[in-house]
A and B are shown apart, each in its own frame.
Chain A
Amino acid sequence: MSLVVITFFSCKEDEEPECQTEPAKLSVTVQPVFGNETLYLDSVYSTVEGYDVKFIDLKFYMGNPRNGSAILTDAGLFDYRERGTLLMEGEGSYLDYSSMNANLGIHSSINHNDPAAFDNASMLNIANSNDMHWGWNPGYIFVKVEAKVDTIADGNPLFDHNVVFHIGKDENFQTLTFSNVNWSDQGSHHELPLKLDMETFLQNSAETIDLKDEFTSHTAAGQEVLSMKVMMNFKAALTTY
């Protein structure tokens, strides 16, 4: 991998070499997969329990991606249906992010701020957060997984079993650590590709989510255990390559 920082210089001929240096661009992408397969929304995958599942919405917030004092942006919003694999874009040198810490969710210090008051370009602005903001008191939805499942192995593909995980609230906030990240040179920018394995999400070692019995959490009272399991499994499912 090249260790040269990509920068762009704009100089006019016959002028003093006082050049405008454009900051290097960085992006973080997330490719959803299901085990060894690329995951596409609305396509059918099989769980270890033998259920057929179609994911119809995958969204999450990654807050405050940083390495030491270097901060890439305030928050990235992954929305597979609307924004594809892009999680966030920012400016800076990839050399500043040889490892990265981030939040799965939005820190309580800003989770309850006026969502209309964030900068227009911020994914926390309510015009961008769209249905990922509940309101001031609960704040933002950190992780959203929606799916339809066929839990009856009768050969009749009736996906009438809905799965809705909308997890937020300060107590479910998680931190992420990506060590030794590998930025890829895309020419115009450097990209950090991450992977979101929804099979791992459902089958995270001992913390299995059985969609037949565990299919709804809005982070409401009485849903604390499943809410935390969703967050922990999602955290485990989100990795570097």
Chain B
Amino acid sequence: MEYIQTPYELKIPSHFPDMIIPIDNPMTIEGVELGRKLFYETKLSGDNTQACATCHAPSAGFSDPEQFSTGIDGLQGDRNSMALINLGWNTSFFWDGRSKTLEEQIIQPVINPIEMHEEWKNVVVKLNADVNYRNMFFKAFNSSEIDSLKAAKAIAQFLRTLISGESKFDVMYKYENNLSLSANDQVIYQTITPSEWAGYDLFRSLNGADCFHCHNGPLMQVQKFSNNGLDAAFTDIGRGDVTGDPNDYGKFKVPTLRNIAYTAPYMHDGRFATIDEVIEHYSSGVQQSSTIDPLIEYAFQGGVQLDAFEKDLLKQFLMTLSDENFVNNPDFQEP
């Protein structure tokens, strides 16, 4: 018996590039539905209490409001849970980029002793005991055999649907680049304040906040690892742990700024509780070190030295990156 899957059509904003889907994991309605159920499935954890969504809550931009997530054994790591936004365009995963594909990344939290602390073979047993899952896996993959790879593929399909591109910023982006605005865009455009535009100018100004080198384009991030001047001496060497190269010490994946209002706390270790603290860091708290990104050009004076008015403008712009349709999208919530 063969089940014919239904292709899933991603809702990609007009100003975004195409999303490249792995040939061995095409998007299907059945796969996304299964992935969504698995994302919220506590059976993936050792004591059946935690799901992916436990540390990646939709209301928090699919991140964790806590500085460090607590695993099923009460243990905590030393990095903040990353926001899951527009992952389909990312080229590496985790703060240190140790996974090159979503499918590869998804395998890890389940078996991590300080996170879900479970073995995939046990997860497979638990899922196999549920006739609903057996049916869903069959529909998604034409196979009644459940395994970790299929589970990871399904979750990856769901994560690729988590697309955020309907914020006020998106209208600003389209407007300034002469892209057509929909009727709804035009309504939103009328609500953009002079302060938000001024904040955007500061964001992009070399002599202003100078954020745009790393937070650029429709995704509001570039695909790179950077030392953004958090520490003069590293307690976490980040990317260096993966490459073994001292030149990578203290570098971490550049995150998107989309939905930043929802994704506190900030930085790889969640050290900043508020956006104000983040702005203050780049304004006056930058620490010099051997691997600091040369694009942090005012590091020699501790940062870009914004005054209070400029900080407020910048913050107002950062608020335009909030996409309520994204965090409240019913297709993304627990089924």
Contacts and interface: CB of A to CB of B under 8 A. Distances in A.
Contact of A160 (B206, B245, B288): B288
Interface stretch (B38-46, B156-164, B289-297): B289-297
Nearest to B248: A42
A114 B218 CA distance: 11
Contacts of B20: 120, 127
Interface stretch (B10-18, B106-114, B122-130): B10-18
Interface string A22-52: 0000000000000000000110000000000
B17 A116 contact: yes
Contacts of A156: none
Nearest to B217: A126
A146 B17 contact: no
A125 B294 contact: no
A229 interface: no
Interface string A171-207: 0000000000000000000000000000000000000
Contacts of B288: 160
B177 A135 contact: yes
B177 A136 contact: yes
B70 interface: no
Interface in A136-152: 136, 146-148
Contact of B294 (A41, A116, A126, A146): A146
**Binding site secondary structure of chain A:** mixed
Interface string B266-307: 000000000000000000000010100011010110000000
B294 A164 contact: yes
B15 A116 contact: yes
Interface residues on B, range: 20 to 34
A220 B16 CA distance: 27
A114 B179 contact: yes
B235 interface: no
Contacts of B214: 131
B89 interface: yes
A130 interface: yes
A42 B294 CA distance: 13
Contacts of B100: none
Contacts of A216: 297
A201 to B, nearest CB: 17
Contact of B245 (A42, A115, A116, A125): A42
Contacts of B16: 116
A130 B222 contact: yes
A132 B178 CA distance: 20
Count chain A CB atoms within 10 A of each CB in B176, B178, B295 and give the residue with the most: B295
Interface of A: 41-42, 56, 114-116, 120, 125-127, 130-131, 133-136, 146-148, 159-160, 162-164, 216, 218, 220
Given A120-B17, A134-B216, 4 more contacts: A42-B245, A116-B15, A133-B217, A135-B176
30 contacts: A41-B247, A42-B247, A56-B247, A56-B294, A115-B217, A116-B17, A116-B18, A116-B218, A120-B17, A120-B18, A120-B20, A125-B17, A126-B217, A126-B218, A130-B224, A131-B213, A131-B216, A131-B224, A133-B216, A133-B217, A134-B216, A135-B176, A135-B204, A135-B212, A135-B217, A146-B295, A160-B288, A162-B294, A162-B299, A220-B206
A-B complex: 4 closest residue pairs judged by Cβ atoms: A162-B294, A131-B222, A127-B17, A42-B247
